[in-house]
Copies of this chain bind each other. A is one copy, B any other.
Amino acid sequence: MPPRSGQAHELTTVDGLAQLSFLIYQLLERRAAAHDLSIVQTRLLGVLRDRRPTMNELGRLLSLDKSSVSGLVDRAERRGLVERSPSPQDGRAVLVSLTDQGRAIVADVAPRFGEDVAELLAPLSASDGRALSRIVSRALVAHAEEQGIDLFPAVPVDRRR
């Protein structure tokens, strides 16, 4: 039986966060679909926005096997969204970067997705909106510290190797 809170139903914390996650996931999915992109392709472009990783690093960033990365980059490259170049440092390594076309898509999708999220939060009061942002940020920062992850990379705009 769902608990009541005042006159309206309230979800449990877990159910609420799970549903919120799926919802936000779908918002991004829908915006990506406007460019005929899957979520994974979109994450690929997003990750490349401020990085120029090797295939290997890309696998770690996206939590994918190297063979999955090969296929992913193949399809993105075939569509002209990313490009491969040989690493000057390591004859075995391959660097992946956005093309202008890929960058244009990121520049289009990102703000629209931002609007979607803003719209989702529009029914909240201003103070609830601020509180949500602060609390979520706090939880993520604590989690990142525990995992030894840097949430705020130095943003190497044009790092070459």
Which A residues have a C-beta under 8 Å from some C-beta of B? Answer: 1-2, 5, 8-14, 16-26, 28, 43, 63, 113-114, 117-118, 120-121, 123-124, 128-129, 131-143, 151-152, 155
A58 shortest CB reach to chain B, Å = 15
Closest residue to A13 on the B side, CB-wise?
A: B133
Which residues from B are CB-within-8-Å of A139? 20, 120-121, 123-124, 132
A27 nearest CB across to chain B (Å)? 9
Could you pull out 8 A-B pairs where Cβ atoms are within 8 angstroms?
A5-B137, A11-B133, A13-B129, A20-B20, A21-B24, A128-B138, A131-B131, A132-B132
- Residues of chain B contacted by A12 (CB below 8 angstroms): 133
Is there contact, CB below 8 Å, between B136 and A11?
Answer: yes
Asked whether B138 lies within 8 Å of A123 as measured between CB atoms, the reply is yes
Task: Return chain B residues, CB-CB under 8 Å to A43.
Answer: 22
Which 10 pairs, one residue from A and one from B, show the smallest C-beta to C-beta distance? A123-B142, A21-B21, A13-B133, A21-B24, A16-B136, A10-B137, A11-B137, A14-B114, A14-B117, A132-B135
